[in-house]
Structures are given as structure tokens and as C-alpha cells.
């Protein structure tokens, strides 16, 4: 979207929700427009506006924020591409596990990438196939429900980085150069005493201020 199209979207929100952008200054309005432009500059106006009109039919009290609009766009894209949702993915995993007592390797290779990341290996599919069904449908499904959103978000991030090699390179360079400061660790009594004496020697070497007679006794 361009700037004019962002303003159109914000105007829709302003006319639909009386609480949206109340008491807004000109600077605030400019900031909001710039934020929307930054977040949606890669999205076609037609897609954003359809998502927006869809949301205002269900959001009664508050205007949908950027994250909500983005999420609805993602849902529309997954539907258009036939991308499986959480329920579809779980059912696909259940089917693979049910056939993994004798052919876990084949079943693992046929899984979509996101389920391969969740399972980790063909051996895991085999182990799950040996579980009691009630345990699998409670424990493993609980783990699945917690992990799938994170895996989907990472998959989306990887797709975005693939479309922006420059950003990917910047992040890789930043990660390679980042360092973690290690704590000094635990010292022995002798090391502590040595460090203390070094500090005291440094203090002794400092010239005293006028009118002061500093004496530090070493032990």
C-alpha cells in the first residue's frame, strides 16, 4: 500500500469506531499513518481493505489493530493457498502416527516440513504409535497445541527473510558479532586475597588529597 491507501484504511476505522483516534493531534495522526505505511507497504491495498471490512463486521467495541489485520490477511492467504490449519495438521499427524508401527520412515518423509520439525524424527513417530491413544491425544496433543503457533510463526519469518536477503544478511552478521559477557566465576580464597591486595596496591599508589592521611591496612 502507498500512503494514500493507508489513509483510506484509517479513515474507514475512524468513521466506523467513534473511539478510534479521538483527541488525536496532527503529529499523532502523522505517526499512525507512517506506522501503517511501514507495516503494510508490501501488502496490496485490495487485500488489506478486504481484511479490514471483514474485521469491522465482527469487532464491535474497538478498532482492529495492525496485528489483528495482519493475522486476518494470513488466514485469507492460507485459505487461498490451501495451506492446512492447526486442525488439518493435527489430523495429518494422527494419520502418520497410526501407520508408523511398521513404516515410520516412509510416514515421516511424507509429512509437511512443519510437522517434521515438530516430530523431529521417524523414531518419534514410532514411539508415539506405541502409546495408549488417550495418552497420545492428551499429552502429545497438548505439546502440539503449544508448539504449532511458534513453528508457524518461524516458518512465516523464514519466508519473509527469503524475500529480503539484505535483511537476512544483516541479522546473520549481527548474530555472529554479538557476544555474551561471561561472569567472572567463582574464585578460590587465595585468588580473592590476591585480587584484594592488587586493588589495595592500586589505591596506595594514588596520591592522597590535601588534608587527608589515608592508611589502609593489608591482612
Give per-residue pLDDT as tens, 98-128: 999 999 999 999 999 999 999 999 999 999 9
Q: Please tell me the predicted confidence (pLDDT) of residue 82.
A: 79
What is the arithmetic mean of pLDDT over 127-137? 94
Residues 6+ apart with CB under 8 A from 171: 161
Helix, strand, coil percentages, rounded to 5, for the chain = 70, 0, 30
Give per-residue pLDDT as tens, 140-181: 999 999 998 888 888 777 777 776 777 677 767 766 665 444
Q: Please tell me the predicted confidence (pLDDT) of residue 217.
A: 44
Distances in Å between the Cα of 199 and the Cα atoms of 91, 183, 194, 208 are: 66, 19, 9, 16
CA dist., res. 214 & res. 205, Å (int): 11
Give per-residue pLDDT as tens, 61-87: 788 999 999 989 988 888 887 778 889
What is the arithmetic mean of pLDDT over 193-213? 59
Amino acid at each position: 500500500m502507498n500512503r494514500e491507501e493507508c489513509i483510506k484504511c484509517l479513515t474507514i476505522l475512524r468513521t466506523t469506531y467513534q473511539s478510534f483516534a479521538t483527541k488525536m493531534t496532527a503529529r499523532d495522526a502523522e505517526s499512525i499513518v507512517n506506522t501503517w505505511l511501514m507495516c503494510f507497504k508490501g501488502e496490496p491495498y485490495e487485500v488489506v481493505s478486504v481484511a479490514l471490512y471483514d474485521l469491522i463486521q465482527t469487532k464491535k467495541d474497538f478498532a482492529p489493530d495492525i496485528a489483528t489485520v495482519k493475522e486476518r490477511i494470513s488466514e485469507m492467504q492460507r485459505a487461498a493457498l490451501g495451506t492446512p490449519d492447526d486442525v488439518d495438521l493435527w489430523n495429518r499427524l494422527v494419520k502418520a502416527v497410526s501407520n508408523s508401527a511398521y513404516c515410520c520412515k516412509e510416514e515421516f518423509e511424507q509429512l509437511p516440513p512443519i510437522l517434521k520439525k515438530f516430530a523431529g524424527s521417524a523414531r518419534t513417530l514410532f514411539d508415539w504409535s506405541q502409546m495408549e491413544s488417550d495418552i497420545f491425544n492428551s499429552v502429545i496433543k497438548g505439546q502440539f497445541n503449544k508448539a504449532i503457533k511458534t513453528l508457524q510463526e518461524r516458518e512465516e519469518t523464514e519466508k519473509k527473510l527469503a524475500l529480503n536477503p539484505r535483511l537476512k544478511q544483516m541479522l546473520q552478521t549481527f548474530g555472529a558479532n554479538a557476544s555474551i559477557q561471561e561472569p567472572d566465576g567463582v574464585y578460590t580464597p587465595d585468588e580473592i586475597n590476591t585480587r584484594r591486595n592488587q586493588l589495595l596496591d592500586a589505591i596506595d599508589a594514588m596520591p592522597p588529597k590535601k588534608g587527608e592521611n589515608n592508611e589502609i591496612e593489608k591482612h
